[in-house]
Chain A
Amino acid sequence: MLRLLFQRLLVSLLLIFLISLFVFGATELLPGDVAEVILGQSATPEAVANLRHALDLDRPAIMRYAEWMLGLVQGDPGVSLVNQRPIAELVGARFANTLMLAGITVAISVPPALLIGICAAIWRNSVFDRIASIGAVAVMSVPEFLVATLAVVVFAVNLGWVPAMAYATEITSLGQLVGSFALPILTLGLVVASQMIRLSRAAVLTALQEPYVEMARLKGASHRRVIWHHVMPNVVGALVNAAVLSTSFLVSGVLVTEVIFSYPGVAKLMVDAVATRDMPLIQTCAMIFAASYLALATLADIVAIIFNPRLKFQ
């Protein structure tokens, strides 16, 4: 089992290396290069050459990649091209904001979604199962911004419970705190919960169709006993795996959510950076997202390995 875990971690490290090559390589894909993009079309060749030298662009790409990677690992990803401020400073506070948004969303949405998914599988084809499954597929098959837009229309415009757009910069009361967080969390929560319901329902359904469940039923075990003593211990690993995997959908969901609600997080920072083509900032944000996503995927696999009863006695 330890060998498997070690192999999995090694694969992740290799993947993050490949992703960093891709993210860094994207700047090299620029028609012309960053210096030309900054100075625009009317720049003289001398000005471009000067800036290229100032930005170290005249040195070989492999050297710049190595320096960029070293800086990133040491927590110094360089300077923003647009406002010359250190990227670490720009990202720092915003990363905490995004983590807070993600953390609250997971804490609120995963437990009920898990329960709904399990119940839907146990009461298969019941009205409850139909509603839960259709609801999950409906949320999954529409864009995240539609979920956000509908949430605003229903809760802010029609019901008037929360402010529509504003993210309060100075929060003075608990009501304001709930108000400014409610819709982003609701949007992200629905995205995560829909994945969670589908994955956990599938996990429990698969277990329910195993021969040992039929055997337990034939032995005369009660429905409750079959569920709690035979099925549940075997699906814990799959359920935790499902929870982590559905959490990874936060990474794409958070981009749209932060933009719609102008939430000051890393995703909003990255989208603004793409708009101004601030490549160093884009690279850092992209690495943060890729690393988070990969970390969650790795965690899901590790959980699956640890909870796999077949590997326990090897």
Chain B
Amino acid sequence: MSVSEASARSRLLFARGGIISRGWRISWACILGLAVVLCWLGVAVLGQAIAPHGNGQIVSPDSFAPMTGAFPMGTDYLGRDMLSRVILAARYTVGMSIAAALVSSFVGATLGILAAVMPGAVDSVLSRLADAIIAVPNTMFALVVVAALGPSTPVLILTMAAMYAPGTLRITRALALNLSQSDFVQVARARGEGTPYIIWREILPNIIMPIMTDFGLRFVFIVLVLSGLSFLGFGVQPPAADWGALVRENMLGLSFAAPAVIFPALAIASLTIAVNLVLDNLPTRIEEE
């Protein structure tokens, strides 16, 4: 190992196009995306503490006021502070989407691995079921369920999880099937390891990274669907509001481009684009380049 390589492994190095740390190259795009995502996560957690005004508090006589020092994002259709509304809505958009994506990835990955290690009836039932759910257009699937069960938070989270779990199932099954043919799994089988050991110690560690990437993708899809549902009026219900609901309630301001309708839309876009930036520019090992 040369001197420069040793130093690259031990500490942060600023290089062209990114940072090098412990043998990993992290691009600026990835850092920027991560920063935005962490920032929104922080806002979602700290919401109540950092919002300058309360959620329903009417602070200005003007509705759809422009951006000013006192109200950096203007005011909404009732004269409430938009900055506080956007900060408080982050909890719903980010929180519900993470919950739905976690359920979706966990269920999808578990069933996917099961389908891979249990060929035959289990596999074909799970795979066909996944195909059937994928064949239903997403927003319509959600609309039918919401029409029947009403738009409560658990219904929304479980509906979105059910919409995206089949995609994860397919990917995980394909990855796990590939691995189960590999030499090290064959060796483990030959030395008499049981199925749980093979799943836990041989297959899972090797597919955890693609599953995490898939989790990020599902999260983006779910944010978009949840915002779309709220925008149509079938997502988060008043007095609570997520970013999609904020766009919906301020639609009247659209004809004169009020900041109240632009900022929540930009909040959604910044979150989804940031996650995409991270996923498209994941850190790479220097040896692999």
A and B bound? yes
A interface, CB within 8 angstroms of B: 15, 18-19, 22-23, 26-27, 29-31, 137-138, 141-146, 149-150, 152-153, 156-158, 164-165, 248, 251-252, 255-256, 259-260, 270-271, 273-275, 277, 279, 282-283, 286, 289-290, 293-294, 297
Report whether B276 and A144 are in contact in the complex, using a CB–CB cutoff of 8 Å: no
Choose one: B234, B257, B269; the contact of A142 (CB below 8 Å): B269
Known: A141-B273, A143-B244, A145-B231. A22 touches B148 (CB 8 A): no
Task: Check if B4 is an interface residue, CB within 8 A of chain A.
Answer: no
B147 with A26: CB separation less than 8 A: yes
* Contact status A165-B255, CB under 8 Å: yes
CB distance from B283 to the nearest CB of A (A): 20
Chain A residue at minimal CB-CB distance from B280: A137
The stretch from B8-16, B107-115, B129-137 touching chain A is: B129-137
Is B224 interfacial (CB-CB < 8 Å)? Answer: yes
| Chain B residues closer than 8 Å to A23, beta-carbon distance | 144
* A interface majority secondary structure: helix
**In the assembled complex, B139 has its CB within 8 A of some CB on chain A:** yes
A146, B268: Cβ atoms under 8 Å?
Answer: yes
Roughly how many angstroms separate A29 CA and B280 CA in the complex, as a whole number?
A: 40
B254, B276, B280 interface centre (most CB from chain A within 10 Å): B254
Instruction: Give the contact-size bracket for chain B.
Output: 35 or more
Minimal beta-carbon separation of A138 from chain B (angstroms):
7
Q: Which 4 A-B pairs have the closest CB atoms?
A: A26-B148, A142-B269, A252-B139, A274-B147
Q: When chains A and B are docked, how far (Å) is the Cα of A108 from the Cα of B98?
A: 37
CA of A38 to CA of B268, assembled, Å: 36
CA distance A2 to B25 in the complex (A): 51
- For residue B200, CB closer than 8 A to chain A, the reply is no
Q: Measured between C-beta atoms, what is the minimum distance from B154 to chain A in Å?
A: 13
Contact of A149 among B139, B228, B261, B273 (CB under 8 A): B261
Q: Given A143-B244, A158-B257, A279-B147, is A19 in contact with B136 using a C-beta cutoff of 8 Å?
A: yes
Cβ < 8 Å to A, chain B residues 244-263: 244, 247, 251, 254-257, 261-262
Q: Does any Cβ of A come within 8 Å of B145's Cβ?
A: yes
User: How far is A30 from B145 in the complex, measured between Cα atoms in Å?
Assistant: 9
- Not counting A141-B272, A165-B254, A290-B135, a sample of 6 additional A-B residue pairs whose C-beta atoms are within 8 angstroms of each other reads A15-B131, A141-B269, A142-B273, A152-B254, A275-B233, A293-B140
Contacts of B254 in A (CB 8 A): 149, 152-153, 157, 164-165
Q: In the bound complex, how far is the Cα of B144 from the Cα of A12, in angstroms?
A: 21
Q: How far is the CB of B14 from the nearest CB of chain A, in Å? A: 24
B138 within 8 A of A: yes
In Å, the complex CA distance between A150 and B263 comes to: 11
Q: Does B232 contact A (CB under 8 A)?
A: yes
The answer to whether B45 has its CB under 8 Å from any CB of chain A is: no
Interface string of B90-134 (1 = CB under 8 A from A): 000000000000000000000000000000000000000001100
Shortest C-beta distance, B92 to chain A (Å), equals 15
- In this complex, what residue of A is CB-closest to B220? A141
* B177 CB–A CB distance under 8 Å: no
- A157 and B132 in contact, given A259-B232, A274-B146 (Cβ under 8 angstroms): no
* 16 A-B contact pairs sorted by A residue (CB < 8 Å): A19-B132, A29-B148, A137-B276, A141-B276, A142-B268, A152-B254, A152-B255, A153-B257, A157-B256, A252-B139, A259-B232, A270-B143, A271-B233, A275-B233, A279-B147, A286-B144
Taking a contact as CB atoms under 8 Å apart, the answer to whether A26 and B234 are in contact is no
With A142-B269, A255-B139 given, is the CB distance from A282 to B232 under 8 Å? no
Nearest-neighbor residue (CB-CB) of B268 within chain A: A143
B135 x A297 contact (CB < 8 A): yes
Q: Is B149 in contact with chain A by the CB < 8 A criterion?
A: yes
| Residues from chain B with Cβ under 8 Å of A27 in the complex | 148
B:61-81 near A, CB below 8 Å: none
Whether the Cβ atoms of A293 and B144 lie closer than 8 Å is no
Instruction: Report which of A19, A156, A273, A274 forms a contact with B255, defined as CB distance below 8 A.
Output: A156
If A141-B272, A143-B244 touch, does A29 touch B139 (CB 8 Å cutoff)? no
Chain A residues with CB under 8 Å of B149's CB are: 29-31
Q: Which of A138, A149, A271 has the most CB of B within 10 A?
A: A149
